[in-house]
Structure 1
Amino acid sequence: MTATGLRGGLATLFAIPPEHRLDDVDRDSAKQILGCDDDTLSALLDHGLPASGDRGAEHFDSRDLFNLALYSGTGTTVPEQAFAYSLRWMRSSTDDLLAPRASRLELRVACAADRCGPAPTSMLALPRPDRCGGAVSDLTVEPADDGAGRTGHPDGGGDHVVRAASGLAVTATVHTTGEQSRLRSPELRAIAAEFAAMELRWVKLPAALQDDVELIKTHGVASCASASRYLAQLCAAAGIPAVTRIGWVVGMLDLVHAWVEVEDADGATKVIDPIFALFSATVRGTNPLLRDPAVALRTNRLIPTGLQVGRPVAEHRCAGEPSAARTTTKILPAPTRHRESP
């Protein structure tokens, strides 16, 4: 079952282009990710699975392995199980997806070098749930403002905080709520239906390809960023005001998510999340509203920033240049008197 599924997945794999490959996984680790034996991995190599190195000591790009496993249909690979676990909330009832929710958010960025260079600067995006009926409380920034940095607080409309430091941390209690509404504009409904009919596949992509809408047209694959850009372009061509938005999803800590905010015919700004429908197709028993192109569904799991696709949520600079950074995100249920739905 596993071998058959992996071979089927290989036939539709979008291989990471050579100029963007990392080949950061050895053969033993590849077998663990794919949940296969040595003979199956050799067969995948014989049928075109990209790798580098001598026979028997190959190295693979972790994103190729993740994408291959995710669409293998076996249900037993590490990526499939991890996705099913992190997206289990998609099985929630509509009431659970819309109910007020409180989460404790902790963001950190730090220089990844052993020794940070001179004149360091660190930046983090701030949560902006106030953009869609939510709020932020107990916001703290470390280090505190010493006059050398700039702080933007959600209540004042700021989108990020900057400090002249090698690292930066932002913690806050984030209050979110969901909203469900019908799309009123016939043109907007047609665009949403057209996008859903494309049957795209979400895949892990290198940072340089995250925003590439051409991959949607040429290979039928998308990241949340490129899908949102593409959908916003369709709206703009139809004269419908639309902007992309980025933020976080409660339960998916390593993913900066993207979606589209559109102005509908009734004058209301509504969220269209082009990727959640693709995500929900990988999990059994998900709420059908997540896949309904006629419905604008903003779940209480979305934590927006004030930034559009293409803007970083975390950044570090030292010695006058952008520098590699370690970024961590923690989102946990905030302590409450009543237990919230998982």
Structure 2
Amino acid sequence: MARQPGAVMTAAGLCRGLDTLYAVPPEHRLDDVDRASARQVLGCDDHTLSTLLDRGLPASGDPGEERFDSRDLFNLALYSGTGTTVPEQAFAYSLRWMRSSTEELLAPRASRFALRIACAADTCGPRPTSTLALPRPERCGGAVRDLTVEDADGTAGPSGDPGDTVTRTASQLAVTATVHTRGELAELRSPELRAIAAEFAAMDLRWVKLPEALQNDVDLVTTHGVASCDSASRYLAQLCRRAGIPAVTRIGWVVGMLDLVHAWVEVEDADGATKVIDPVFALFSATVRDTNPLLRDPAVALRTNRLIPTGLSTGRAVAEHRCADEPTAARLTTKILPAPTRPQEGS
């Protein structure tokens, strides 16, 4: 039976994507996806999956019972160019805001923020502690209202003068707040900074999902042309500091993104102002059609109203849990939704 034209086009795209795939190194592989689930992620038939295996797609197990690393499958699908795979469609949906006008990207925005952590074990171990990063939108001209911290015992209350994190002796911890953000568009004044931003943009990097152990690996940027949010930000910050430009990395959240935790760079420009350079937004926008061109313009610093910063740099975590004085697995839930509009008085 002849294969459908759509299946042939999908196979061709996936094969092209495989040629440029950065495969997860063997020592970091999970092999957490079976063959049937792999076909769903890639949007392909069994014949195409076998072809990909013959062409070198990493897998373990006996023929017909292979298992794959979910990150390999995601990265392969994302850059296949078919437009039909699950990762491509998910990215197109979650990043559709990148098509927004500049005015929409800069306008004041209010979001209801909720971050919760709980021990992943059925029974939490002795001496549990939970730590959460706090939203710090005031770093970017915003504000936080109604900040509340609640622990496993139900003890809740406002936090008066928040630091960068909050820690409680508890198996569970939650932080809620209304977060106000706004964007900013500024020209990069320093010729050296503009040159660095242009050099980075010309590297033609690809954002990929990476194992946690490799997310800060700056060497992957130069040796394989791939980057996570963390490694891209670290690399760009290094370039700035080597040129004598003060720069720090920052982590936080982005409203509406698949992976809510994000990283970017804050630099001190020649005019003395601190400006946000987001090296990964340009990489993301390359996967979505008709995005705002300012997201890819190396001559400007665009901080969108969707950034919610913490006070932490790359390499830190927005959530941590410990039992018996050891780091342990935890369930983390993050929800960032539009804040409800308050009704007008007298309505």
Question: The TM-score by the shorter chain falls in which range?
Answer: over 0.9
Contact 2:147–2:158 (CA under 8 A) maintained in structure 1: no
1:233 aligns with 2:206: no
- AA aligned to 1:64 is D
Out of 107, 111, 124, the position equivalent to 1:103 is: 111
What's the offset of the Cα at 1:115?
1.1
Mapped to 2, the partners of 1:319 and 1:337 lie a distance apart of 45
Out of 35, 38, 42, the position equivalent to 1:27 is: 35
What's the offset of the Cα at 1:42?
0.2
Q: Which residue of 2 aligns with 1:143?
A: 151
What's the offset of the Cα at 1:152?
10
Per-residue displacement from partner, 1:13-67 (whole Å, max 9, x unpaired)?
A: 0000000000000000000000000000000000000000000010000000000
What's the offset of the Cα at 1:253?
5.0
Q: Which residue of 2 aligns with 1:246?
A: 251
Contact 2:164–2:310 (CA under 8 A) maintained in structure 1: yes
Q: Which residue of 2 aligns with 1:319?
A: 324
1:51 aligns with 2:56: no
Mapped to 2, the partners of 1:24 and 1:216 lie a distance apart of 26
Per-residue displacement from partner, 1:142-171 (whole Å, max 9, x unpaired)?
A: 129999x9x995x73500111100011111
Mapped to 1, the partners of 2:240 and 2:124 lie a distance apart of 44
Contact 2:152–2:173 (CA under 8 A) maintained in structure 1: no
Structure 1 runs of 4+ with >4 Å offset: 144-147
Between stretches 109-118 and 267-276, larger displacement belongs to: 109-118
| Structure 1 residues 152 and 10, CA gap change in structure 2 (3 angstroms) | farther
| Secondary structure of 2:279 counterpart | coil
Per-residue displacement from partner, 1:129-148 (whole Å, max 9, x unpaired)?
A: 0001100011111129999x
Contact 1:248–1:302 (CA under 8 A) maintained in structure 2: yes
Contact 1:145–1:163 (CA under 8 A) maintained in structure 2: no
| Secondary structure of 1:156 counterpart | coil
Contact 1:210–1:226 (CA under 8 A) maintained in structure 2: yes
Out of 70, 74, 80, the position equivalent to 1:66 is: 74
Instruction: Tell me how many residue pairs correspond in the alignment.
Output: 335
Mapped to 2, the partners of 1:311 and 1:126 lie a distance apart of 13
| Secondary structure of 2:47 counterpart | helix
- AA aligned to 1:16 is V
| Structure 1 residues 146 and 105, CA gap change in structure 2 (3 angstroms) | closer
| Structure 1 residues 152 and 15, CA gap change in structure 2 (3 angstroms) | farther
Mapped to 2, the partners of 1:164 and 1:293 lie a distance apart of 45
Mapped to 2, the partners of 1:258 and 1:287 lie a distance apart of 20
Per-residue displacement from partner, 1:88-130 (whole Å, max 9, x unpaired)?
A: 0000000000000000011011111111100000000000000
1:111-130 to 2 correspondences below 5 Å: 111-130=119-138
| Secondary structure of 2:259 counterpart | strand
Per-residue displacement from partner, 1:69-98 (whole Å, max 9, x unpaired)?
A: 000000000000000000000000000000
TM-score (norm 1): 0.95
1:200-219 to 2 correspondences below 5 Å: 200-219=205-224
TM-score (norm 2): 0.94
| Secondary structure of 1:254 counterpart | coil
What's the offset of the Cα at 1:254?
3.3
Mapped to 2, the partners of 1:319 and 1:116 lie a distance apart of 9
1:94 aligns with 2:102: yes
Contact 1:227–1:275 (CA under 8 A) maintained in structure 2: yes
Q: Which residue of 2 aligns with 1:222?
A: 227
Mapped to 2, the partners of 1:241 and 1:156 lie a distance apart of 27
Q: Which residue of 2 aligns with 1:168?
A: 173
Contact 1:84–1:282 (CA under 8 A) maintained in structure 2: yes
Q: Provide structure 1 residue ranges, at least 5 long, that are not aligned to the other structure.
A: none
Contact 2:94–2:258 (CA under 8 A) maintained in structure 1: no
| Structure 1 residues 164 and 81, CA gap change in structure 2 (3 angstroms) | same
Contact 2:216–2:234 (CA under 8 A) maintained in structure 1: yes
Per-residue displacement from partner, 1:180-232 (whole Å, max 9, x unpaired)?
A: 00000000000000000000000000000000000001000000100000000
- AA aligned to 2:189 is R
Kindly, what percent of the aligned residue pairs are identical? 82
Out of 193, 196, 205, the position equivalent to 2:198 is: 193
Alignment RMSD (CA, Å): 1.7
Mapped to 2, the partners of 1:206 and 1:128 lie a distance apart of 27
